[in-house]
Each structure stands twice: as C-alpha cells, then as structure tokens.
Structure 1
C-alpha cells in the first residue's frame, strides 16, 4: 500500500495495526519484547533505554532511506548548480522536494560553493547513533537543569527559563524532551534518578497519553456513526439515502467518487479532475446532490476516509446527514461496495482515472443504471428512480 502511494497511517489503519507497527514494517524494524532491532543494526531497548549496534552501521556512501539524499543526489545537485539550473529543476531531476534541495545547499555551501562530498560526510556524522546526551557533555548546563528540578520547576519551565537567564549563551539550551529522556531513561545519563521525584507527577516511567484501545477522532467536526442511523434507512423503506466511496486509480493519484441510492441502486459518478482531497470531494458531492429533488436527498453513508473531512460543510449545503461506518467494515456500505466492483469493468485497477472526463462518467453511469437487477425484480435502477420522480 505504501509503495502504491498510501500514507503509513492510512495503510496501517486499513490492515488493522498500530501506526508505530506500520512504521516498523516499512523500515524493516524487528520487535522482540521491549527491544527494537533496526535494519542498520541499531538495537534500542525501551525497557532500559539502552542503545547499541549489533553490527557496523551502513557506510557513508549507503542510503538509509529514500527520504535521505544519497551521494549521487548530492553530486547531481552540484552539477545542476554549476550548469545554472534552478532549484526546482534540480529537485525534479533527483525526485526530491524543492525545499529539501534548498536546505541542503544552504547548509553545505562554503563561500557560495556547494561541496557534495563534504555535505555527505557531515550528514553521515550528524546521523550517527547513539548520540551522547547534551546533559552528559556540558556540566554547566546540567547544573542549571538540576537546580531547576530541585526548585520543582517542570522541564518545560527550565528550558524556557534558560533562554531568559542566558540570552547570549547558545550552549545553555536544552529541550524539555532531553530532560525527560535523561530522567526516565537512565542510560541516556546526565541526571540522577532521585530527581524524578521533583516532577509534579512523581512518576518514574512515562505514561501513555492515550489508551491503546482508544481511537482518536479522525475529523475536527464530530462524526455521526452508522449505529445512530435510523431504522428506516437500514431497511431501505424510504428512498433518498445514499452510500458513497472513492474508487482509486494507479498509485492513488486519481479517483472517482461513487454514489449509490440504497433503495433503487441508482448510481451517480462524480468527476474529480484535480485531486481527491477533502475540498474537491466536498464540492463534487454537493454539485451531484443538488441535481436531485429534495425528497431524494436524505442521508449519505461513507467510510472514515480523510476525503470526508469537510462533511459538516457538505451537510450544511445539502441538508443531508452524513453517517460514518465503523473502521474496517466495508459491508456496512454493501450496496456501494458491490457497485464499485461492477465499475471496475469500466475502470480497471491500476489505471489512470483522470483520463475519463465527465461525459465518460455519465455514459458509464447510464449503462449501469440501465442494467436489470435481480434485487429489483429485474427492473433497472433508472426505472425505479423514474417511478420515484413521477409519483
């Protein structure tokens, strides 16, 4: 899924694992109890806080991840600068973001000249793990932190007070996270364990901010879950209630929004030419629903995809309540799922859906709505919708 363009968070949610587990899988990290073994040989024991290598880390010329610049990337940047190419052109040539190239050139230029080999060595040195805690190497800084803890100051108060007390001394800077690390993980060093009692909580271990079984709300606006959907929608007794979803194209770079009326199985296809983010999806759905009479605009049931982040605005514009399915429960939109399967006959997986214009989508929708359905006693969705419009 990640190779197809999904975010790690979305892919992890789709297969039902924690985001941290998904990150571990992507990076080739093996977990044994409280210990994580990284692909480059780094071993981190989260029980004791110790970090060490089981083998020699990768060489300076190696690439830890595609997120990092390789030596070839840096040489290409140097060549591009010599040939007076823009940063945008250089970034496109190596497949990186322009801001990445801009930061790289700014950080590793001497008298206006970018030095790729020196930049690569500096990056490898800065990336070396484990790093020595700042509180271990700077006695003066450590003394100020200890003094603050003895005065019952919080780590955040300490780090911000240091800026005021030593405005001209950049060495007297430490983040509150570094202080917490030194307190909770003794292997990080620098602070004595008894200083932990100076914290307001008095805890000797970190407390998770959220229980593992608690899901964070996907959207800013509150969601109405499918369990709150009235029975009249569930048994299809009243028409005008729709199910929706996106069918995705190659690499998830293109999409078509699909809408199916639960009673008649009538299908609408929404053209999304630019992107399938929340705003274009909201606008496309509003436009599609406003073509219908008011009595056929009852509700919409969707999954918890991020494309519905503007669901409240959709509701205000159409007066349609949006209900959200439970995670990993596609059967709760069974009519829509079945229709999406039929649509794959016209829009095969792995193809670019952006090549299909509004006229193409209208033609496909008409064909689908003209198919006799067993569940409709061999009527077509178009015939059932026509009956609703004429009665």
Structure 2
C-alpha cells in the first residue's frame, strides 16, 4: 500500500492523525504485522498498540479508548464481561485465538466458551485475516472490529436497493406466487448473482413491517391468507394463566397411563361450534381408543362440563375409571368436584402441548366429519351423539391390529369378569 508519511514538524500545534489511524488499522486487518504497519504510516509501535487496545488511566495520563474504524461506539475498558451474552465478546475472541495457537479443536473451544461448535466455526470463518500467501490467521482485535462494523442497525434493505429485485418480486406476487416460491425462482433465475436472492421472511417483512414500504401494500392481498398485516403467534410462555386452581400436572400421572398397558386411563377435550357458543365433550380411552361423547346442550361452562362428565363416567365399571387427562381449558375449573363424585383423578397437560393427548386429538379430527367447524353443535341430540360414537367404536383401527375399539373393550371386560 502506497502511503506518504506526513511531515508533522512543520505543522503548528497538534493535529489528529486521522488518516494515519485509518491506514494503520486497515493494514492490520489485511494481515500486516504491527511493527511493519507502524513503520509504513510513520508512528511509534507503542502508539499503534494504544490505538488498537486503548489505555487505562494512571498517574497523570488519561484514559484512551480503542479506535473504532466503523464509527461504532467504542466499549469502555471497564465493561464487565461476566454473565451470558448473545454475541461473542472480545474476551471470547481472545480465548479463541489463544486456543487456536495451542491447536485446540473447534468443539473443545466451544465447550470452554459454552457455545455451539457452529458458532465458533462461523466466527473463525467470517472474521479471520487472509494473509498475502493465501494462508490465514485469527487475530482477535481485528475480528472484534469486523464484528463491530457489521453491528450497526438498521441495515439497508436488500429489496429497496435493487429495482430489478423489487420488480421481480412484485410481478410474481401479482401472479399469486407465495414468497417461498418466489425465493426459489430467484435462485434458479439468478444462480450467479447473490444480490438477487432473498429469503421469504425478507419478502414478508417488506410487505408487513411498518416504515419499510419496499413492496406495495396492496400486494399483501395477493398472499394466500389475504391479510394486510402480520398476525402475531403467541408462544407458550406468553399465554395467560388459566383460572384453574389445584391443578395436578401430567408429569405426576402414573406411569401405567403412559404405556397404555392398563385400561381405564382417559383423555378428554371439547370440540367447539360456531362462535364458541356450543360444544361437544369427547372422551377417549387410551388403551382401546374407545370413544364417549358428552352432551352439552346448555353450554360448556365448568358446571355443565362437570355434570356431563360425572354422568358419562358413572356408567363405567370401577376398573375403567383410573384417570382423566385434559388440557388447561377453563371448562375444567370444577375438576375437584368431579374427582370427589367419581373418584377419578384429573391430570392437566402442559400449555400448547396437544401431543400429550394424542389419541384425543386424533379422535377430534375424525369427529369433524360428523360435526364440521363453524356449525352449531347444540342442535345435535343425545341420540345423535350415541350413533356417532357407535360408528367410531365399530371402525377397525390399525393401531389395534385392525380390531375395533368396541371389540378390544369387550375383551377387556370379559377378562376382568
């Protein structure tokens, strides 16, 4: 690199070495040694060290922070490094450099840092310094500067910077292509142009996120959902707690219920009708997949559900009344009264965990052939529910070796007698 050393002896007063700093750090990033980089720009080696690492205050000297070429805010020397961090810190990068010199493996370094091996591997690949002879070296301070240069937000959006990319996406959205289909079409059409590739999430953000506007908002109506704004998905940890007291969780359920070897353990739920105003209760025996339907003509409040459960479970013999597993719906707020009346303990699933009642969820899907969504379920009589349950219980099931639930239950009853 050609650099003309400035004659500072002819300058009146002090003048910041802005250009010298920039060139010095650029040379270091390119793999030039610290002493050689200092010689090229005409500074002392100790000056270069202070630019790279900063200087702590002591005696009559003042504190100097490391030079940040990216314009990002420099980190004070006293910044604490303890505690978890989402991103690698300078201390982590120094540890990586030290261990690489000791020929440690990527997995060993990752274990020492408490990180994924892919995190360490990606860090080395992205922030290493390529030397003139084609080899590479990992220099932690240079790696930290590269990481800081990529940190500032917001970053320029890819779609807004390329009119060709924006027109391609808008044209195919008008053709009612999905964002994912458009992304794959871009990869096939422009295999050698990475600037013409985006993910489907980038397209969704360009349509939905306020303040961007790279894509015309009316194009959102061409999506399959037709929504003009993104609908948030609630996570399990954000769900509101249910108004159910004294719940016993499924983790405390007897082990015999999990392996389905012992009959008498049931799963329950509601299928909801139009507007959430009507419902039908469903009970499925885990071992035989035998189905019982609860008639709820006056609503699915806690009291109505409790009474319907007591009536249905009361028809079973004692050895088929071992436990009931339900989700955390408010209709089971009276579960303690149900247990007192039937001597059947109730166990509750974890939030957003329908697989913990897999048999019941599968049965609810079958019931939708008889009771479609969006219909008023209060129109169905007790007799109609019994007919539907009988049809399901007389249907051969692959999981039962092509026996019907009624046949399997009859065998169990005969063996117990």
Q: TM-score, normalised on structure 2?
A: 0.42
Q: Which has the higher strand share?
A: 1
Greater relative contact order: 1 or 2 (C-alpha under 8 angstroms, separation 6 or more)?
1
